Amino acid sequence: MNCSLYKPHLIFLPSIPIILTYGALLGNEVWDLNIYDTYYVIRYTDLSYMLSFLFGCIGLGYWIMEKYNKKLSTWLSIIHTALSIGGILLVMFLAQFYRGPIREYEFNSLLSSLISVICFIIILAQVIFPINILYGLTKNKNHNSS
């Protein structure tokens, strides 16, 4: 069965307009993340531009590998896509609670810590993408030389 039902570029590339629209709708609102004594403040529009660029590069990479018939690891692709898309959706969902009417210090502190851990996992998950690309390039090279 040569037909691959799972194509990550069909997930990453269509998400770009959604992310840009979300960033445009929020306008100049900022997302402030408090990690102990440090505040990280970023506008949602800037965050949407960065995520769109990242998703564009990732989607283009997956598309190029498919166009040149390079077989990627299905599990690495699924893990990378799930952690990237799912993690960002989870952070966006949890950020809504942070800005909600509950303003208890312990609740916001715990929520900030949880969001920080999820962001760290998302960043670490991006290492899977080049590993998967290298896997696809070396697997096909070894397979073709035999």
Contact indicator for 71, 136 with CB cutoff of 8 Å? yes
What's the pLDDT tens digit per position in 7-52? 899 999 999 999 999 889 988 888 776 667 787 888 889 989 999 9
CA angle, 44 then 95 then 126, to 5°: 70
Contact indicator for 144, 62 with CB cutoff of 8 Å? no
* Cα separations in angstroms, 15 against 57, 108, 119, 129: 12, 29, 18, 17
Residue extents of the structural domains in the chain: 9-145
Confidence check: pLDDT of 76 > 80: yes
What's the pLDDT tens digit per position in 81-124? 999 999 999 988 887 776 555 555 566 677 778 888 998 999 99
The C-alpha torsion from 17 through 19 and 23 to 26, rounded to 10°, is 110
Contact indicator for 45, 27 with CB cutoff of 8 Å? yes
Can you read off the two tokens belonging to residue 122?
A: 């998302």
Confidence check: pLDDT of 68 > 50: yes
CA angle, 118 then 119 then 123, to 5°: 115
